[in-house]
Amino acid sequence: MSSGTQAATGAEYVDGYVPDDDQLAAARARAVDLGCAPLAPGAGGTLRFLAATLGARAVVEVGTGSGVSGLYLLRGMAADGVLTSIDVEPEYQRAARKTFLEAGYPPGRMRLIVGRALDVLPRLTPGGYDLVFVDAARIEYPGYYEQGVALLRRGGIIVFHQVLAGGRVTDPARRDPETLALREVARAIREDDRLVPALLPVGGGLLCATACS
């Protein structure tokens, strides 16, 4: 068996470790209809784990999509936790609201904000959030990093999705703006003395960091 086949089999095992239920399957179908790529199950399971470990009561999500990642987050959060999810597409947020309500979460557990995240994030409470998850325009990741870290309480975690970009980030020949932005945010988080970083090889690369000061 080739090493490539082994890697693919490993990734499939990770994504199938905690299989989707009916609510997640429906959310993924909505994502396909909307033309937005849903979070892989392995990455979703990691988000749920992090939210549960933190006992998260206040979470910010940048990039709502059809509600796949939000559903994972809500399932890991405390029973009284509130998910704030930001997206520029009203249609995405309508789909996500349907996902959350069908999964049994009342409207008070979600705050869906239509707008550009770089404009919305500065209006949120500094130091008031347990977890910030970013899955939106990759070229804006450096800006989300600056604003997202400011929202974290001590011990809170920020997570960026798809930072490996299908291997583009590790290819020195790739110099397009999106790849450069991903390299910039990876470097900034690694060198930020306020953070303890880790890069997890799930979901195309989850770049995580906890606020230690």
Q: What is the DSSP string of 40-81?
A: PHHHHHHHHHHHHHHT-SEEEEE--TTSHHHHHHHHHS-TT-
Domain residues for the domain of 86 are: 3-211
- pLDDT at site 1: 42
- pLDDT at site 89: 96
> Whats the size of the chain, residue-wise?
213
- pLDDT at site 15: 85
CATH number for position 131:
3.40.50.150
Beta strands 110-114 and 82-87 are: parallel
- pLDDT at site 175: 85
Q: List, for the chain, all residue ranges whose pLDDT scores fall below the cut of 70.
A: 1-9, 213
**Helices (DSSP H) in the chain: which residue ranges?**
3-16, 22-34, 41-54, 68-76, 90-102, 117-120, 141-151, 177-191
**pLDDT tens digit string along 9-20?**
677 888 888 888
Looking at the structure of the chain, the number of domains it has is: 1
% the chain with pLDDT above 70 = 95
